[in-house]
A and B are shown apart, each in its own frame.
Chain A
Amino acid sequence: MKLKDLRETLRDFWGEFRKVRYGMVGLVMFGLFLLIVILEPVLIPFPETGRRWRDITYWEDNPKNAAPVWVNWFTRKDYTPQAVLDKPEISERKAANTQMVEAVFTYNYKYDLPPIDLLLRATGKGLLNLAVHLERPDGLSIELTKKSIRLSGEAPVRLSLDKEASGAVGDFLKTYEDPDVLRGVSIFTVKPVEVFFARAEPGILRNPVPLKGEYRIKLTCVAVGSGAFLKEPALTVAGRVFGLMGTDASKRDIWSGVIAGTKWALLIGLLTSAVAVIIGVFYGVTSAYFGGAVDLVMMRIYEVFQSIPLLPVMIVVSAVFKPSIWTMILMMCAFFWVGSVRTVRSMGLQIKEEIYVEAAHALGASRGRIIFKHMLPQVIPYAFASMALQVPVSIVYEASVSLLGLGDATIVTWGQILHDAMQGGAVLQGIWWWIIPPGLFIALMGMTFAFVGFAMDTILNPKLRTR
Chain B
Amino acid sequence: MYWKYVIRRIVSVFFTYVIIIFIYSALFNTVMEKTIRAQIGEQVKQEMMVQSHIMSAAELKRYQEERLAFHYKRYHLDEPFLSRVFWRAISTLKFDFGNSTIIRSAAGERKVLTIVGEKIPRTILLFTLATAIDIIIGVLLGMKKAQKPGKFLDQSTSIMTMVVYGMPTWWVAMILIMLFVYKIAIFPSGGLHSVPPPQGFAYVLDLLYHLALPLLTLVLIGFWGRAYLTRNIVLSTLQEDYIMAARARGLSERQVLYGHTLRSAAPPIATMSILSLLFSVGGGLIFEGIFSWPGMGNLYWVAIQQNDIPVLMGNLAVTTLFYLSGLVLLDLIYGVLDPRIKVGGKA
A complexed with B = yes
Residues of A at the B interface (CB closer than 8 Å) are 22, 303-304, 307-313, 315-317, 319-320, 389, 391-393, 395-396, 399-400, 403-406, 418, 421-422, 426-430, 432, 435-436, 439, 442-443, 445-447, 449-451, 454, 461, 463-464, 466-467
Which of A307, A421, A428, A442 is in CB contact (< 8 Å) with B167? Answer: A442
| B182 & A308 in contact (Cβ 8 Å cutoff) | no
30 CB contacts below 8 A, A to B, read A22-B162, A304-B16, A307-B17, A307-B327, A308-B320, A312-B320, A315-B300, A316-B300, A316-B312, A316-B313, A316-B316, A319-B303, A319-B307, A389-B165, A392-B166, A400-B170, A400-B285, A400-B286, A403-B286, A406-B304, A421-B174, A426-B178, A428-B182, A429-B182, A439-B168, A443-B166, A447-B166, A454-B158, A466-B150, A466-B154
- Which B residues are closer than 8 A to A by beta carbons? 12-13, 16-17, 19-20, 23-24, 27-28, 31, 149-150, 154, 158-159, 161-168, 170-172, 174-175, 177-178, 182-183, 232, 235-236, 239, 278, 281-283, 285-286, 289-290, 300-301, 303-304, 307, 309, 312-313, 315-316, 319-320, 323-324, 327
Cβ of A443 and Cβ of B167 under 8 Å apart?
yes
Chain B residues whose CB sits within 8 angstroms of the CB of A436 once the complex forms = 175
Question: Do A435 and B178 touch across chains, with their CB atoms under 8 A apart?
Answer: yes
Besides A309-B282, A400-B168, A461-B236, 13 other CB < 8 A contacts? A304-B20, A309-B320, A311-B286, A312-B285, A316-B300, A316-B312, A319-B304, A319-B307, A392-B165, A396-B166, A427-B178, A429-B182, A439-B167
Establish whether residues B16 and A303, one from each chain, have CB atoms under 8 Å apart when the complex forms.
yes
CB-based contact B166/A309 at 8 Å: no
B165 contact from A304, A421, A446, A466, Cβ within 8 A? A446
The answer to whether A395 and B166 touch across the interface, beta carbons within 8 angstroms, is yes
How far, in Å, is A28 (CB) from chain B's closest CB? 14
Q: Is the CB of B162 within 8 A of A312?
A: no
Question: Across the A-B interface, how many residue pairs have beta carbons closer than 8 Å?
Answer: 151
Complex Cα gap A451–B164 (Å): 11
Q: Let me know if A449 and B166 touch, CB within 8 A.
A: yes
Inter-chain contact B168/A399, CB cutoff 8 Å: yes
Given contacts A304-B20, A309-B320, A404-B286, contact A450 B162 (CB under 8 A): yes
Q: Please, which residues of chain A bring their CB within 8 A of the CB of B177?
A: 427
Question: What is the interface of chain B mostly: helix, strand, loop, or mixed?
Answer: helix
The answer on a CB contact under 8 Å between A445 and B166 is: yes
Q: Which residue of B lies closest to A301 (CB)?
A: B19
**Contact among B19, B174, B178, B289 with A304 in the assembled complex (CB-CB below 8 Å):** B19
Instruction: Return the contact of B235 from the options A317, A435, A445, A463 (Cβ within 8 A).
Output: A463
Q: Would B150 and A467 count as touching, CB distance under 8 A?
A: yes
C-alpha spacing A392/B307, complex, angstroms = 30
Contact: A442 with B171, CB < 8 Å?
A: yes
| Known contacts A320-B309, A406-B304; A447/B163 CB under 8 A | yes
